[in-house]
Amino acid sequence: MNHFTRTVLFTDTDGRARFREEAIPLDQGTPQAMLSELIPSQGLQLRRSPVGFRSQFHVSSHTQWVFILQGHMEIGLQDGSSKVFGPGQHFYSADLLPAGAVFDSQVHGHWSRQVGPDELVTVFVRA
């Protein structure tokens, strides 16, 4: 495989959050250690969420990578669908409020929650 598949949570043209997959080329390095281009970041935050955590619908305030270190995180969308991410998995959060829009919890955003018996530990890397 000469690419890394990035799962992206994004705001579609109708203002609703959706998931899509994108390929990031691994075209640098050596055949034994294929690398992507350097991806700039603006810092890293760690988060620990207790068993039972659940947010309300919200949008991201900035784009960021979310990596799951421990536990499981479910992301729910306005259409009723959701995805669960476990240890070693990731998503790229780009679900931002559309320019000029006023947040409407019936249209915009996603919710997140901890699922399963283990607390949720995540790393956020601002893009």
Q: State the pTM of this model.
A: 0.93
Q: How confident is the model at residue 8 (pLDDT cuts 50, 70, 90)?
A: very high
**CA dist., res. 9 & res. 95, Å (int):** 6
pLDDT given for residue 15 in this prediction:
96
Q: How confident is the model at residue 98 (pLDDT cuts 50, 70, 90)?
A: very high
pLDDT given for residue 116 in this prediction:
98
Token pair for 96: 């931002």
- List domains and CATH numbers for the chain: 3-14+41-126 (2.60.120.10)
Question: What average pLDDT does the segment 50-67 reach?
Answer: 97
Question: What average pLDDT does the segment 30-57 reach?
Answer: 97
Q: How confident is the model at residue 50 (pLDDT cuts 50, 70, 90)?
A: very high
Torsion on CA atoms 37, 35, 127, 23, rounded to nearest 10: 90
Residue pair 60/110 in contact by the 8 Å Cβ criterion: no
Nearest Cα to 24, choosing from 1, 50, 54, 53? 1
How distant is the alpha carbon of residue 85 from its chain centre?
Answer: 9
Question: What average pLDDT does the segment 81-91 reach?
Answer: 98
Predicted confidence (pLDDT) at residue 1 exceeds the cutoff of 80: no
